Structures are given as C-alpha cells and as structure tokens.
Amino acid sequence: MNPGLIPLIVYLSLLFNTLSEAQPSSAGPRPLALNCGSKDGGHDADNRKWESDDKYLVAADKSVSSTALTHEASLCSDVPYMTARIFKGETSYKFNVNSTSRYIIRLHFYPSNYPDYNISDSYSVVTTGTMTLLRNFSAFITAEALSQAYLIREYSLAAFNSDSITLTFKPADKSFAFVNGIELITEPELFDDKAGLVGVADTAGTIDGVSSNMQTMFRLNVGGQYIHPKNDSGGLMRSWYDDMPYMFGAGTISHVGNVTIDYKGLPEATAPADVYRTARSQGPDPNINKHSNVTWVFQVDANFTYLVRFHFCEYHLEKINQRVFKILLNNETAFNSADIIAWTGGKGIPTRKDYAVYIGNKRGDAELWVTLHTNIDLQPEFYDILLNGLEVFKLSDARSNLAGQNPVPSEMMQKQLIANREAHDPNSICSKQVIVGGAATVGVAAIVLLIMIRKKRRAPGSDPGSTSWLPVYGTSTASKSTTSRKSHGSNSLSKDAVCNCRYFSLLEIKRATNNFDESKVIGVGGFGKVYKGVVDGNMMVAVKRSNPSSEQGVNEFMTEIEMLSKLRHRHLVSLIGFCEEGDEMVLVYDYMGKGTLRQHLYRGNKITLSWIQRLELLIGAAKGLHYLHTGAKYTIIHRDVKTTNILCDDSWVAKVSDFGLSKTGPNMHQNHVSTVVKGSFGYLDPEYFRRQQLTEKSDVYSFGVVLFEVLCARPALNPSLPKEQVSLADYALQSARKGTLEEMVDPHLKGKIKAEAFNNFTDCSIRCLSDHGMERPSMGDVLWTLESCLRIETKVEGTTNSPKSSSPSDMVEVPIDNSDMIAMHLNTLNLDNDDDDDDAIFSQIVNPQGR
C-alpha cells in the first residue's frame, strides 16, 4: 500500500455517499428507483424507498434474481446492492415516459459473487433505443481498478420522442450481464442548443446540448463540500463532490459567501444554492496571480466530445471589469473575457456557461484540463479568477455510443490490489474501502492518477508508460497484435474486395521497400508509416504499413480495402493491392508524383499554379467527390475533404484520397449518418456539429473551404493572422457581406480572373459555406459552375485548355489501368506532418509555426 494513498482514502471515506429519499419536488413525476432482483423492494440506509423491478420487465425475460454472497464492509446500504438481476440473454425493461422530457438514468452495480455466477466472467452491454450506454462493461474490472465496492453510472438522455423507453441488458459473448439498481428521473431542460466547441472559429463550432445524450463524468462543488443527493436541487438526486482531488497545483483559497442566492431566470435544478454559495479563487497577491493558472485535471475516455459546464456566482464584487479571466480547455481558449457581473448583473445571482472540447486520438484514457487565468490584457481591477461549480459530461459519438473501455489498473494499483488481498482484513482501511457514489466513479482513478502525475514530475527520469492507466505497449505489442489481427484478418474481407485487389506477398513488399528502409519513408499517419517503393520492376508505389499496435487502424484498413476496391474512378485514388502476412498488414497504392494540392498553393511552393490549372485541379477533385456522392452504389460521404486529401499524379490529374473516414450515406441508412466529430478543423461543417448528423452537404461545405483556399492561397486556419481572418471560411463570409472578396485573392492571380468567372466562382463558393446544408449546392452544381468558369477563361486563352466533358459518361467506373494509376494515400502524404490526427490539428491551432 502506498502510504500516500491512506490520507486520501480516509478523506474520501468522509465523502461516503448514500442514497436517500427525494425531497418532494414540483418538477415532473416521482422518480423511479428499482431494487433489481428483489421481490418487494425495500428501504435503503437513508430510508429512501426502492421498488421491485418485476413489473417493468418485458415478456422475453431471460433473467434470474440473485443475492450477493459477500457483503463488503464498505457497502453503504443493503438496498439496492445486495440483490441483483442477472441476465443470461437479452432482456429489456420498459418504462412509460413523457416523450418531450429529458431523463436521467442511473445504474448501480455491485460486482460481488452471486451463487453459480463468477462475477469476473460478467461483461454487459446496456442500450436504450439506438444508444449504447455500456459495451463489454466489466463491473468487476472497473471496480477493482478504481478500488470501489460498487459503481454508479449516470446518463442524461435527450427526449425520446416516444411514450416509453426500453432499457436493454445483454451479456457480451457467453458471459452474463447484471444490474443491482436502476433510477429514472425526469430532468428539466438544463441544456442550450449552443455550446462553443473549443478549437473551432466562433461561428463554426457549436454543440447542441438539447439534443445530446451524455454521461455524467464529474460533478464538483468547487471550493465547497460534498453535497448529498438529498440536498440536491430539483429533486434530481445528484451528488456534488469536493473539487480538491482534481486540483492541479496549489495556491488557491475557498470561500463561503454570506449571500442569499437569487436564481432569477436560471432553473433551480441547475445546481443547489450550496454550490453557488461556495467558490474557489486565487490568493491576495496580484503578482502571483498574474503569473499562475488555476487548473483541474480529469481522466476521461479518448475520442469523445466533452461538454464542460461552469457554474458562477459572484458575491463579493459588484462592478464590471473588476474580475475578468480566461477559460481554457486543454490549453485552448474557450472564452477570453469571463466577467461574472457582466453576465449576471449583480451579487448573489448565479449563471452557468457551457463549452465543449473534443478529446481524441489517445490510446485508452486521456486528460481533460480545465484552466482559469486572469486576463491581464483587459486590466481588471483585481487579477483573480472565481469558480463555484463544475460539471463534465461525455457526449455520445458517431455510433450513438457512450461506452468507453474497461480501465487497466496501473502497476501501482495492481500492487496495491495484491497487497489488499494478502492483508485480507475486511476492516482494514486498505481494503476496498473507498466508496464514491454518484456519477463520479472515475474520480478515484483521477486522484490516483494525479498523485502519479505529481510523482512523475518529482522524478523526471521515470518512465511515463508505467505510471499510466494504459497498458504498457512495447515488447508485448507483437503478441497483442497477432491476436487482434486474427479477428480482423482477411477472413473479414468480402469476396469482392479480395477479387478486385491484387495480393502481394510480404517478400514482394519487403523487396519493394528495401525491407521497410527508413530512408524510404514518405509519410507517417495515424496507422503507421508510408514508404515509397517499386514493384514489377519499374512501377512506383506508395506502401502503407499498419502500425502493429493500432487496432483501430486495422479496422480502418479493412474499410479502406472494402471501399477502394469497389470504387474505381479517374479522380479517386486507387488501391493496387494489399498484403496480410503474419503480423504485417500493408496497403499498396500507386505513387502520386506531384503530391498534395496544398503543397502547390503555399508553404514555399516551387511553382505557382495558374488560375486555369487551379480550376482544372478543382474540377478533377469535384468530379471525384461527385462520383462518391452519386456514382457509386451507395452515397459515400468523404468526411475529410481538404487540400491535403487532394493529390496530383505526374500528369497533374487531381485525385481524391483518404477514405479511412468515409461513411456510406442516406441510401443505406435513414436520413443521415450520425457521427462523431471527425474531420479537420477549418473545414468542418457547422451544421454537423450542431446536429451530429452528416450528409453529403458536409463535404460540400469542406469543398467550399477548399475553393477559397485555392483562390486565396492561404490555409483554412491561420492562427498567426488577426482574429477575424484566422478562419478562412469566416473571413470569406465576412468579406462577401462587405463586398471585399477581391482583397482576399492570391496576389499571383490578381487581374488574371475574368469578372464573370470570379463572380460565379465566389458566388458558388459562398453558397457552399451556407450555414444550412439545404442551402448549399450539390457537388454536381459546384462541378457545373467550375466547368463554366473554365469555359469563360479558356474562350480567350485558346483551345488547348478546352474543358473536359462532365457528362455522366465521365463519371462511370474506369477499369484499372496501372499506367494511369495514381495514388498516394490520404493520410499518407503527411509530408508536413500535420492534419494527421486531432492532436496535430490542435497543435497547429496553438502553434502558429505549425503552418
């Protein structure tokens, strides 16, 4: 046992949480509390009544009731934890609900052993409608890793538009699923349809909270104490925790205000008055404050967008510009000049503000940093910050999924678990004593991690890998990937794909790349490296080798083979073949001699493309996208249209590449593809953020940005420019309103574009950037406009550049013709080492040199 943990555990035990009777509440019907697997319900330690779950089970019931074999000393209450419902097959509960209300669902799990069931074999899938709440969820592993006796998961779900909701439990594979308690509580609408998404220009990125489904990750009474569910406002039975364990660094003070809280327009259910009555600020020394930040760090699941809610209430100052501070999420500014009085108008009036941030591309757990820093530039009267409460919600992703992965205990934690088992003293403070209820089950993990972070800082030489929650990848990688390969291997490729693609042996690939010679690397992508190679004596190819530890990569590889093998078009990158042998997974593309469109636009480009050349390249790319949208069997949405994904072959034929993110569209599914926030900042369709629904018009939006990028020869995002010019899309829309579009044009093109072509080109480009997909032209319309522009230009320039036909015959599939084959890959031509993953994108925004 690490001695450092003991005070912490003692401290946490003080937060000991139990459930209790709800305060009578005017909002909505009585909350439902089910003691699963019990015949007649019962009362918990706080005298709250729980009822039996029997009558909510629907017909096809494959469940049994059971009673836990062990009673952990730290179990706060027998109800609802000592009885469980165990599911041997898919089983649902059905609840009648108000179709226009949000609901909170809380699930309680006590991973003890139950007669005839070994709890370590339990893996649960929990869904409601199309939403996945938990997937391959092992309560046993999670509780062990977090050192908790029981777990609570809390979800806040958007209105169901239906009079009932179905909550389904399903065992994963041959295991079983179980649950001990279920709560269902009507939640008044506490969310807005607009929360600014950090890292995206003001108008572009917002998250619609009203239609979002979320999981509560953390709920903190900043600068205050634990608030029991009984003392929550609105009868929502939430627990609010002390924020100390999440604080990074010291030097703050907590306050209790001597004011009555006047909610004004804010619903009382937003947060109890006790949250607003206490706060944290910096110390009295302005010089220290000017040079320090107040930061909270949370462990979260990677590849999700998080909604971060800040609760504010001023009770000391009463004038504007007395206390002004910046709000940062993961080191990026979410709001520059937070002034609580300016928001609320006076002392004792609370408000809350939501900001969202996407956290991507990490293996396993990732970190969310919340930072407040006084805004020196605005010269407020006091250099200080203030925060009263903080909530963090995880938003569902593209696949309507909220489930993360089971945690992997750190080395330290594992040692501790073993020590605990050896000690085997149920009353020992070292045994599974820590119980943190509510939704903040990840809390303990975060605390432990924080300790480790601090330790790490003290001992700079230590290996960060060994102190993280993530499995240590390294020597063990090979065996790991072999097993994951098996399940994703060529067996899962369709016959189609296998027939349309050439199979290469590993030996051929090694010969082609001089045994993966480092000097042949032409790009590094999320999936691994890309090598330049030669096959069949003289054919140049790009060889993409999967990073053996990237399991996600394997799936995307498969997607790519499937997609590319079916799609053949002059303006799409073609796949030549693939190789799968042992551990190796390799894709082979033709080599794209002229690289990306972007590298010929700016960034020390060697040649300046003429206007006509640019139009021709754009027409090629537009044809490729038009084919994806309409020419293939299914509508295919590219999802990541940008100038680095438009490649040029030796004869300057533009080809669209990177289908790793592609999704098949409406023909296949309902009206839209709902998605996770994927794509690249600067190109992202704002509607796609608001609705999390993707249509082919999202590609049109991105292509609109590409059109301006080509016209203006500047990047989609350039943080080194004045604020209003950072985002190309915003700048273009602004300029169009002011009628100053001409000023944006690449100086090399000034005076070289015919007025009619310029007007029609910019008209069309601006329409591509329309806020609503409906108002944007189709790719076919864009193509038509581009071709007519080219016609206008070539009328006088001579006949050599006569436009190619855009008749449908040009769109049909063309047979593979190796001599004409293109293809370097999307992710692959990562020559400037950017745009490759979200982190890189973020770093570009942060670091102006990135461009």
- The 3-class SS string of 639-699 reads CCCCHHHEEECCCCCEEECCCCCCEECCCCCCCCEECCCCCCCCCCCHHHHHHCEECHHHH
What string marks each residue from 396 to 435 as x (binds ligand NAG by CB under 6 A) or -?
Answer: ----------x-----------------------------
Amino acid occupying residue 230: K
Instruction: Report CA-CA distances (Å) from 208 to 205, 354, 496, 695.
Output: 10, 11, 40, 17
Residue closer to ligand NAG by CB (options 330, 599) is: 330
Q: Can residue 77 be called a binding residue for ligand NAG (CB under 6 A)? A: no
Rounded Cα distance between 72 and 424, Å, is 12
Q: How far apart are the first and last CA of the chain?
A: 48
Q: Considering only residues 148, 168, 410, 550, which one is a binding residue for ligand NAG as defined by CB under 6 A? A: 550
Beta-carbon-side half-sphere exposure of residue 158 (alpha carbons within 13 Å)? 18
Q: Can residue 120 be called a binding residue for ligand NAG (CB under 6 A)? A: yes
Of 53, 242, 354, 640, which residue is the catalytic one? Answer: 640
Q: Considering only residues 402, 535, 621, 792, which one is a binding residue for ligand NAG as defined by CB under 6 A? A: 792
Least Å distance, CB 55 to ligand NAG, is 20
- Strand runs labelled E in 120-202: 124-128, 131-137, 151-157, 164-171, 177-179, 181-187, 195-197
Q: Can residue 827 be called a binding residue for ligand NAG (CB under 6 A)? A: no
Least Å distance, CB 164 to ligand NAG, is 13
Q: Can residue 841 be called a binding residue for ligand NAG (CB under 6 A)? A: no
Task: Write out the DSSP string of 480-534.
Answer: HHHHHHHHHSGGGS-HHHHHHSEE--HHHHHHHTTTT-GGGEEEEETTEEEEEEE
* Residue 205, token pair as written in the block: 């990125």
Within residues 363-382, the interface with ligand NAG by CB under 6 A covers: 363-364, 367, 369, 371, 373
Rounded Cα distance between 153 and 166, Å, is 17
Q: Considering only residues 302, 567, 597, 841, which one is a binding residue for ligand NAG as defined by CB under 6 A? A: 302
DSSP-derived secondary structure letter, 626: H
Distance of CA 740 to the CA centre of its chain: 37
Q: Considering only residues 552, 720, 740, 833, which one is a binding residue for ligand NAG as defined by CB under 6 A? A: 552
* Residue 410, token pair as written in the block: 């750190």
Minimal CA–CA distance to 155: which of 216, 197, 210? 216
Residue closer to ligand NAG by CB (options 28, 37) is: 28
Q: Which stretch binds ligand NAG (CB under 6 A): 71-79, 357-365, 515-523, 558-566?
A: 357-365
Q: Can residue 48 be called a binding residue for ligand NAG (CB under 6 A)? A: no
Q: Is 746 a catalytic residue?
A: no
Within residues 219-258, the interface with ligand NAG by CB under 6 A covers: 228, 230-231, 258
Least Å distance, CB 514 to ligand NAG, is 28
Rounded Cα distance between 188 and 183, Å, is 16
Q: Can residue 466 be called a binding residue for ligand NAG (CB under 6 A)? A: no
Least Å distance, CB 325 to ligand NAG, is 11
Q: Which stretch binds ligand NAG (CB under 6 A): 70-78, 326-334, 429-437, 714-722?
A: 326-334
Strand partners, 382: 323
Residue closer to ligand NAG by CB (options 249, 496) is: 249
Distance of CA 672 to the CA centre of its chain: 19
Q: Which stretch binds ligand NAG (CB under 6 A): 287-295, 376-384, 475-483, 643-651?
A: 287-295
Least Å distance, CB 572 to ligand NAG, is 22
Within residues 750-779, the interface with ligand NAG by CB under 6 A covers: 756, 760
Q: Can residue 526 be called a binding residue for ligand NAG (CB under 6 A)? A: yes
Which are the contacts of 680, defined by CB distance < 8 A and separation ≥ 6?
Answer: 640, 642, 716, 835, 841
| Three-state DSSP state, 175 | coil
Which residues make up the interface to ligand NAG (CB under 6 A)? 98, 100-101, 113, 118, 120, 123, 136, 138, 141, 228, 230-231, 258, 291-293, 302-303, 328, 330-331, 360-361, 363-364, 367, 369, 371, 373, 406, 526, 550, 552, 756, 760, 788, 792
The catalytic residue positions are: 640
